[in-house]
Every structure is written in C-alpha cells, then in structure tokens.
Copies of this chain bind each other. A is one copy, B any other.
Amino acid sequence: MASLLALLQPMRRIILYSIVLGLLLVLMQYVQYRFLFIRRADSVYTGIVAAVCCAAGIWGGWRWNYARRHTPAPELPLNLPNSAGTNTEAVIARLGLTPREVEVLQYLSKGLSNQEIADAMFVSLNTVKTHISNVFSKLDVQRRTQAIQKVKSLGLLSD
C-alpha cells in the first residue's frame, strides 16, 4: 500500500482538485434536486453526473498542471550563437542560470515589471521576486537596470 501511495504522490494535486470539483458538482446537483424543477432526479442520475464531473475534474486538473510546466519557451528568441560572438548557452552554463531564471531574465530585459512577468509565466509575484533575486546574485548586480546592462555586455539574449 505504501508503494501505491508513493505512486500517487506526484498526482496529489490533480487528485485533490478532482475530488474538490466532483464534490462541488455533487453539491450543485443536490441543490438543484432540492429547489429546482427536476424533482424526480434519482440518486443514480446524480451519481452519474458526479462521476462525469469527477472525470472532467481529473482532465482539467491534469491540463492545468501540464500547461504550467510544459509551456516552456515564450516567443522570445535566443539560444545558439549570439550577437556578441560568444556562445549563449555556454555563458548561461558558466553563470549557473537555471532555465526559469533565464526566462525571467528575458522578460526583465524587455522592460516588463515583476507583476507582468508573473502574469506571463503563470507564477506568483513572489516567485518572480525569488527568481530575480537569484539572477541578481548570479549576475552580481543589485538592480534590474544593471542586470540589463550585464546581459547586454555578456551578449546574452537577443538585443
């Protein structure tokens, strides 16, 4: 049984959302049964609806989760040799920048605010702050304007 739980571990959030969605819809059915015109709905019908909605919840939860982590590159072009002659990926590797940090850096160097970056990346403002803070320390700068300068001088990103 422990192995089963371990197997279900990565899907915990999906399952949670599914259950919540299912229960919510069961509640809706109940309310409809109690107060609206479909008075003859029996428990079987309710159960079927609940099952369908639960499935929908699973699908939706999976979709949501998948979209969050498998929507990698924005339309920002980069990678491969860059304008400064150096190899972009080599520079990134040398600085120890993670993919997410590079992504934040791209948006940042385009002049976006933290909130706008958060919206674009489907994460919270705090997460963006964390990424940016890490980027700053890795680039050895204090402000975003300095980060832009650094990025330009390093030939990172598209200019």
Chain A residues engaging chain B, CB cutoff 8 angstroms: 108-113, 141, 143-149, 152, 159
* Closest-CB distance, A16 to chain B (whole angstroms): 37
* Closest-CB distance, A112 to chain B (whole angstroms): 8
Q: What is the CA–CA distance of A127 and B149 in the complex, to the nearest angstrom? A: 24
Q: Are A111 and B149 in contact (CB under 8 A)?
A: yes
* Closest-CB distance, A77 to chain B (whole angstroms): 15
* Closest-CB distance, A106 to chain B (whole angstroms): 12
Instruction: Name A159's closest neighbour in chain B (CB-CB).
Output: B152
Q: Identify the 8 closest CB pairs spanning chains A and B, nearest first.
A: A111-B146, A111-B145, A111-B149, A144-B145, A148-B148, A145-B145, A111-B143, A113-B143
